[in-house]
A and B are shown apart, each in its own frame.
Chain A
Amino acid sequence: MNCARIVRSALVVAVLAVTGGCASSEQWAEWRSHNTHFASDRHMGFSMRNNMEGNNPKVTRADMDLSPRENWWGKVITVRPDQIFEN
């Protein structure tokens, strides 16, 4: 009886582990195949705007410079260059 209970518990744990692992792998595969992971709505907003107006369908580098950057230098805690390099 005890043995059967142990086997049953082990099976449940194994199934959970396997299915949990599968879900994680699928999600990770999604990130790896998601080719716009970096592009928040705000980053892409100017492109949509230009298309909707219909008079300037091209996006320039200047447009990109004007778009908000979520992790702009100076606002984020980042490793200092002198922690990595010597000049």
Chain B
Amino acid sequence: MARWVAVALIAVAVGMATAPAPAASPTPAEAVGEKLIPLERYSTPKGQTLARVHQLRLYKFSEHIWGCLPWLDVQKQSIGFQRPKGASGDDRYFSTWILIPQAENPQFAAQPQTRRMSAMFSRYGVDLLRRMAGVHDVLADSNVHGFSVVLSWLKPGTSRPGAQPVNESLAAFIDKATGLEYLERRIPHADFARRMRVVGFDGQTDLGPQVLELWDDDFAATFKLPNYEPPAGVTC
């Protein structure tokens, strides 16, 4: 009898040791760090050097977005120095990709797709660009050619029960001079929209180049989540 009890206890212990642990939430450090592109993912010396030199700055930037814009998500392994697909050279863009939790909204849904892209870039893209331009060491690095901002949000109508959710996305590439001139209000919205390169996506369908219509929208810069307290050490 005692032998059977011992065997049962051993079996339980072995089972507990080998059973998969329940998925744990990442720690704050993990949540911030997993947004950065790992060094080994860079395929050119220029990209690797930029990532290594600015690793701490990128981490602090990731922490800033995570702590100060808590209603947004940042795609994993998206903050770093990317180059556009198909680019012939090795121009590196300081890049960030955010996911915007856009709820179903009839007014938003009624707009043409390009208009929705314009609205999202006006609201979130410009604010993100401004925050990226605040990373001075990165901005001052002559090996950084510009900024890349990717925004994704749920395509209207696809989050209803029974539908396959699909994200609409836009990827914008902006050279450093154009970005700074726009942020300093030295060029108007229309000039900026003409000078940046934007590609739109409907799910994984490439919609090709897009010309956006931009306007002032200070929501992302001014909105405060009620009762939200940023994490210790993060200044918003």
Q: Mark B167-188, 1 if CB is under 8 A from A, else 0.
A: 1010100000000000000000
Q: Does A39 contact B (CB under 8 A)?
A: yes
Out of A30, A34, A73, name the residue touching B73 (CB < 8 Å). Answer: A73
Query: Which chain A residue shows the least CB distance to B106?
Result: A27
| Contact in complex: A64, B83 (CB < 8 Å) | no
| Contact in complex: B167, A79 (CB < 8 Å) | yes
Query: Which chain B residue shows the least CB distance to A27?
Result: B107
- A29 smallest CB distance to B (angstroms): 9
On whether A73 and B76 interact (CB within 8 A), knowing A27-B106, A31-B105, A40-B103, the answer reads: yes
Q: Mark A68-87, 1 if CB is under 8 A from B, else 0.
A: 01111101111111111111
Query: Which chain A residue shows the least CB distance to B169?
Result: A79
Point out the residues of chain A lying under 8 angstroms from B111, CB to CB. 28
Interface size class of B (residues with CB under 8 A): 35 or more
On whether A79 and B166 interact (CB within 8 A), knowing A28-B107, A62-B25, the answer reads: no
Q: Does A59 contact B (CB under 8 A)?
A: yes
- B158 smallest CB distance to A (angstroms): 8
CA distance A51 to B110 in the complex (A): 35
Count chain A residues whose beta carbon lies closer than 8 angstroms to a beta carbon of B: 44
| Contact in complex: A50, B204 (CB < 8 Å) | no
Q: Mark B190-227, 1 if CB is under 8 A from A, else 0.
A: 00000000010101101000000000010100010111
B residues in contact (CB < 8 Å) with A: 25, 28, 31, 37, 41-43, 47, 66-67, 70-71, 73, 75-78, 82-87, 95, 97, 99-103, 105-108, 110-111, 119, 148, 150, 152-154, 159, 164-167, 169, 171, 199, 201, 203-204, 206, 217, 219, 223, 225-231
